Amino acid sequence: MLSINREQKLNLLIIVVILALPSAALWLQEPFYITLMTKVVILALAGVGLNLALGLGGLVSFGHAAFFGIGGYVAGILASHAFNDEWLFSFFGLQVSGSSSMLLIWLLAIIVAAIIAAVIGYFSLRTQGVYFIMITLAFAQMIYYFAIAWPAYGGEDGLSIYVRNQLLSLNTADPMIFFAICFILLMAALALVSMLRNSHFGAALQAARQNEQRLAAIGIRPFGIKLTAFVISAAITALAGALFADLNRFVSPDMLSWHTSGEIMIFVILGGVGRLMGPIVGAALYVLFEYYLGGITEHWGLFLGILLLTVVLFARGGIVGLIAGELKHE
Amino acid sequence: MPLTLLFEQLLNSLQFGMMLFLMSAGLTLVFGVMGLINLAHGVLYMVGAFACAIVASLTGSFWLGLVASLIAAAMAGALVEIGVIRKLYQRDHLDQVLATYALILIFSEATRWLFGSFPLYLDVPQILATPINLFGWFYYSSYRLFIIFVGLVVAVGLYWLIVKTRLGMRIRAGATDREMIAALGVDIRTLYTLVFALGAGLAGLAGALLGALQSVEVGMGDSVLILAFVVIVIGGIGSIKGAFIGAMLVGLVDTMGRFLLPELLALFLTPESAASIGGALSSVAIYILMAVILVVKPKGLVSANA
């Protein structure tokens, strides 16, 4: 008989709730709540990306806003060139146009983020512990300040996407369709992470977190494993960034700021580090706080801070850990 | 005259570096002694600036405000250490980052609640308001010169405290072996609170000093915090000497980069692109510096336990 444990039951429940809420909103003709749930799904996707590096690999990256923002800027820049009908670049006869195709934008967001993550990871992974936290933070700040100082794409003011980008022949401006796109991508990312977790690669990555010397002793170089995890993690977060830009139809350096890095980290921690569905719970809680408490008081950050402090000090497994119990060591 | 301009920029770098040193000394001390990464350090900078602005506007004296900034930030630091930070020493860095990030949210929002989003007003004291004549041919802001002076005094004072006094000996011992010094009968908990309050006080002082040049508002500590991280990573985490060298380097590269890079690029680019590329490059110069230093010396310039 198929037996499932508490965490798996909870995971199933989470997916059902995420699907049920927008459907109910659609039935009640409250499109705003669909958009709110879309935001949850996108932020969760960003968290799923970070959770791969942080939860499985123990790589405390404080710079994932960089990849989130890169994804956003890829979407914004391609879309603005397509909208204005200008060449993206034209170089000795080689002319490349912008694009409003989501597929192309996603692909490019993933590639660009992966390349930059490979460079950042190559330098950052030479260090450990606090140095790693700070150097990833610093690289993200570098990109943040560059985006502010570079005037071509709006600088500090950001960049608007006037028409939501296109996917095949779907009507992406319809909130429910856009939600469905984001939801499917989130599920795909979860499937990928879950597959990686149970693969040889995942085993090596978790071994690298627990004890690098032992991993090296059995003939696997930890550096390559960690770098690969970092790059995949960045690519997933960048995909979320591209979707987020499309959701808001706007990108700004805010997406790159260190507060964003902190927020992505909050999603992971509130939900529970290393839990498959942790980022979804965390992102949902965050958006709930932002929306409901934000409606009551503009100082909702105070309560978010208190909640976060409480979780870190007293509930170390996050919300999923509270409900589903301690992580099982298999 | 370009020479005076260059000289002025050099002094500005020095002043910026000194301010960064005040900020990073506490950060590096707390990491070196307690092994704690403290994101809430920028909040203490803000607390100092607010305390100074409030006391200065109530009493009319900047100097009382400066004293108040030290006391307020040190007290806030001690309270935070006893209430929260103490529980984090045995935790991993991730927990420390998150808990202190939560402290930023709590402090920033509470401050915004109390004082609103508008910047407070803090003016440079009367006797330091006029430029001072140096060497007969060069005028420089006497207030900035005062900041350089304060930074030097603090640097010498800290050196004396750590190397020459009994308290400093205990701090160094605590950094090397926590259990051993506790076994020798030193009250390690009080020592930690003291170290944390000292770092907090210095951050508060930096906030007050800079508050008179910039604006006193919520979030003012954020950018400085990150610069302080860059400084201590470059210098080697845990080393006061490293923090001093790192602060000077970052101050120099940042200020001179902003001044020289656009001019340098203007030699072979059009003025507009020189300005925009130069601006973009100079704003990331310190991060490039940090990356280069970490590639050459992954543990920073000065190793803490050497």
Over residues B106-149, the pLDDT tens digits come to: 998 888 888 877 887 777 777 777 777 777 777 778 888 888 88
Q: Pick A141's closest partner by Cβ from B102, B226, B276.
A: B226
Nearest beta carbon to residue B283 from set A149, A152, A306: A149
- For residue A206, being part of any structural domain is answered with yes
The region that residue A158 occupies, defined by phi over 0 for left and psi between -120 and 50 for alpha, beta otherwise, is left
Asked whether residue A16 is domain-assigned, the answer is no
Phi, psi of A90 (to 5 degrees): -135, 120
Closest among B8, B77, B10 to B38, alpha carbons compared: B77
Q: Picking from A172-176, B151-155, B156-160, B229-233, which range would have the lowest pLDDT averaged per residue?
A: A172-176
Please name every residue paired with A160 in a beta bridge, in sequence order, or none if there are none. Answer: A250
Coarse DSSP helix, strand, coil percentages of chain A, rounded to the nearest 5 percent: 75, 5, 20
Question: Residue A200: inside a domain, yes or no?
Answer: yes
Q: Inspect the interface and report whether the beta carbons of B109 and A302 lie closer than 8 Å.
A: yes
Inter-chain CB proximity A130 and B237 less than 8 Å:
yes
- Are residue A139 and residue A234 in the same domain, yes or no? yes
Compute how many other C-beta atoms are within 10 angstroms of the C-beta atom of residue B75. Answer: 16
Residues of A in contact with B95 (CB under 8 A): 312, 316
Give residue A272's pLDDT: 77
Q: Cβ contact (<8 Å) for B101 and A137?
A: no
Q: Answer whether B53's CB lies under 8 Å from B180's CB.
A: no
Task: Please report the DSSP string for A279-290 in residue order.
Answer: HHHHHHHHHHII
Region for B37 from its dihedrals, namely left if φ exceeds 0, alpha if ψ lies in -120 to 50, beta otherwise: beta
Which of A5-14, A82-91, A217-226 comes out lowest in average pLDDT?
A82-91
Decide which of A196, A226, A254 is a domain's last residue: A254
> ∠ at Cα B184 (B183, B188), nearest 5°?
70
| Cβ <8 Å between A135 and B291 | yes
Closest residue in B to A144 (Cα) is: B284
Has residue A116 got a pLDDT over 70?
yes
**Which pLDDT belongs to residue A278?**
82
Do A302 and A187 belong together in one domain?
A: no
| Residues A185 and A298 occupy one common structural domain | no
pLDDT in tens, A247-264: 888 888 889 988 899 889
Residue that wins the pLDDT comparison between B193 and A162: B193
> Any long-range contacts for B290-294 (C-beta under 8 Å, 24+ apart)?
B290/A135, B290/A138, B290/B230, B290/B233, B290/B234, B291/A123, B291/A135, B291/A138, B291/A139, B293/B234, B294/A123, B294/A126, B294/A127, B294/A131, B294/A135, B294/B233, B294/B234
ipTM confidence: 0.81
Nearest to A309 among B84, B94, B229 (CB): B84
**What's the confidence (pLDDT) of residue B94?**
84
The pLDDT confidence band at residue A93, using thresholds 50, 70 and 90, is low
Residue A91 pLDDT? 61
Whether A8 has a pLDDT exceeding 50, the answer reads yes
Q: What is the DSSP letter of B297?
A: -
The reported pLDDT for the residue numbered A3 is: 57
Of A67-81, A91-105, A163-177, the range with the lowest mean pLDDT is A91-105
The answer to whether B292 contacts chain A (CB < 8 Å) is no
Cross-chain Cβ contact A141/B233 below 8 Å: no
Q: Same structural domain for residues A73 and A220? A: yes
Q: Inter-chain contact B106–A54, Cβ cutoff 8 Å?
A: no
Residue A319 domain-assigned (yes or no): yes
Q: Which residue has the tokens 């529980």?
A: B87
Confidence of residue B191 (pLDDT cuts 50, 70, 90): confident
Burial of residue A199 (number of CB atoms within 10 Å: 0-12, 13-18, 19+):
exposed
Residue from the list B97, B99, B233 with its beta carbon closest to the beta carbon of A309: B99
B202 closest CA partner among B239, B241, B155: B155
- Spatial contact of A56 and A205, defined as CB atoms under 8 Å apart: yes
Q: Among the three residues A223, A254, A285, which one is the final residue of a domain in this structure?
A: A254
Beta strand segments in chain A, E: 87-91, 94-97, 159-160, 250-251
Lowest mean pLDDT among A65-69, A178-182, A213-217: A213-217
Same-domain status, A234 and A299: no
Task: Give the model's pLDDT for residue A89.
Answer: 66
CB-based contact, B291 to chain A, within 8 Å: yes
Is B286 within 8 Å of B230 (Cβ atoms)? yes
Same domain, A309 and A180: no
How many folded domains does chain A comprise? 2
User: Do strands A87-91 and B131-134 pair parallel, antiparallel, or not at all (unpaired)?
Assistant: unpaired
Which chain B residues are Cβ-neighbours of A306 within 8 angstroms? 102, 106
pLDDT band at A329 (very low <50, low <70, confident <90, very high): very low
- The verdict on A249 and A276 lying in the same domain is no
CA distance linking residue A283 with residue B89, whole number of Å: 28
Q: Rounded mean pLDDT of chain B?
A: 84
Q: Among B107, B287, B289, B297, pick the best mutation site for testing chain A contact (most A Cβ within 10 A).
A: B287
* Burial of B268 (C-beta count, 10 Å sphere; 0-12/13-18/19+): exposed
Cβ-based interface (< 8 Å): residues of A facing B: 54, 60, 62, 123, 126-127, 129-131, 133-135, 137-139, 141-142, 145-146, 148-152, 258-259, 262, 265-266, 269, 273, 299-302, 304-306, 308-309, 312-313, 316
Say if the Cβ atoms of A312 and B95 lie within 8 Å. yes
b/e code B246-260 from CB counts within 10 Å (16+ = b): bbbbbbbbbbbbbbe
Give the side-chain half-sphere CA count within 13 A for B267. 5
Residue-level pLDDT at B306: 38
DSSP secondary-structure letter at B88? G
pLDDT of residue A330: 40
Q: Do B295 and A126 touch (CB under 8 A)?
A: yes
* B37–A301 CB contact, under 8 Å: no
Task: Label residue A277 by pLDDT band (50, 70, 90).
Answer: confident
**Segment (H or E) for A171:** none
CA B306 remoteness from chain centre? 23
Tell me: pLDDT of A290 over 70.
yes
Eight-class DSSP state of B120? B
The answer to whether B101 contacts A149, with C-beta atoms less than 8 Å apart, is: no
- Residue A5 belongs to some domain of the structure: no
Residue A113: CB atoms within 10 Å: 29
The answer as to whether A111 is a domain residue is yes
Dihedral class, residue B295 (left if φ above 0, else alpha if ψ from -120 to 50, else beta)? alpha
Largest Cα span, chain A: 65
Task: Give the separation between CA A148 and CA A140, rounded to whole angstroms.
Answer: 12
Q: Is the pLDDT of residue B284 over 70?
A: yes
Chain A residue numbers with beta carbons less than 8 Å from the beta carbon of B104 are: 305
B106 contacts A305? CB cut-off 8 A:
yes
Check whether residue A276 and residue A247 sit in a common domain: no
Question: Which of B37, B98, B103 lies closest to A130 in CB terms?
Answer: B37
pLDDT of residue A90: 60
For residue B89, what pLDDT is reported?
A: 84
Residues β-bridged to residue B131: B141
What is the rounded average pLDDT of the residues A208-218? 80
Contacts of B294 in chain A (CB under 8 A): 123, 126-127, 131, 135
Inter-residue contact A287 to A39 (CB < 8 Å): yes
Q: Are residues A73 and A107 in the same domain?
A: yes
pTM: 0.84
In the 8-state DSSP scheme, what is residue A199? S
The domain spans of chain B are 9-220
Q: Which of A106-115, A204-213, B92-101 has the lowest mean pLDDT?
A: A204-213
Name which of B105, B225, B230 to mutate to probe chain A: the one with the most chain A Cβ atoms within 10 A of its Cβ.
Answer: B105
The residue from A199, A220, A254 where one domain ends is A254
Query: Does B252 have pLDDT greater than 80?
Result: yes
Query: Is A316 close to B95, i.e. CB distance below 8 A?
Result: yes
A60 neighbors B97 (Cβ within 8 angstroms): yes
**Residues of chain A with C-beta less than 8 angstroms from the C-beta of B103:** 305, 309
Interchain pair A312, B233: CB under 8 A: no
Closest CB to B98: pick one of A142, A152, A265.
Answer: A265
Q: A281 and A207: one domain?
A: no
**pLDDT tens digit sequence for A291-305:** 887 777 777 888 888
Q: Out of B109, B230, B283, whose CB is closest to A299?
A: B109
C-alpha–C-alpha distance, residues A240 and A251, integer Å: 13
The whole-angstrom separation of Cα A83 and Cα A75 is: 12
- Report whether A112 contacts A210 (CB < 8 A): no
Tens-digit pLDDT profile for residues A37-86: 888 999 999 999 998 888 888 888 888 999 999 999 988 888 887 777 67
Mean pLDDT of chain A: 82
**Whether residues A74 and A131 fall in one domain:** yes
Cβ contacts of residue A105 below 8 Å, gap of 6+? A74, A75, A78, A79, A99, A165, A242
Q: Is the pLDDT of residue A12 over 90?
A: no
Quote the domain boundaries for residue A288: 272-330
Closest listed residue to residue A38, CA positions, set A18, A65, A62, A58: A18
- From A129's Cα to the closest Cα of chain B, the distance in A is 7
Instruction: Note whether B103 contacts A305, CB cutoff 8 Å.
Output: yes
Q: What is the pLDDT of residues B58-103, one digit of tens each?
A: 888 888 888 999 999 999 999 999 988 888 888 888 888 889 989 9
Joined tokens for residue A278 = 């942790």
Q: What residue in B sits closest to A267 (Cα-Cα)?
A: B98
Q: Provide the terminal-to-terminal Cα distance of chain B, rounded to the nearest Å.
A: 45
- Select from B222, B284, B295 the Cβ nearest to the Cβ of A142: B284
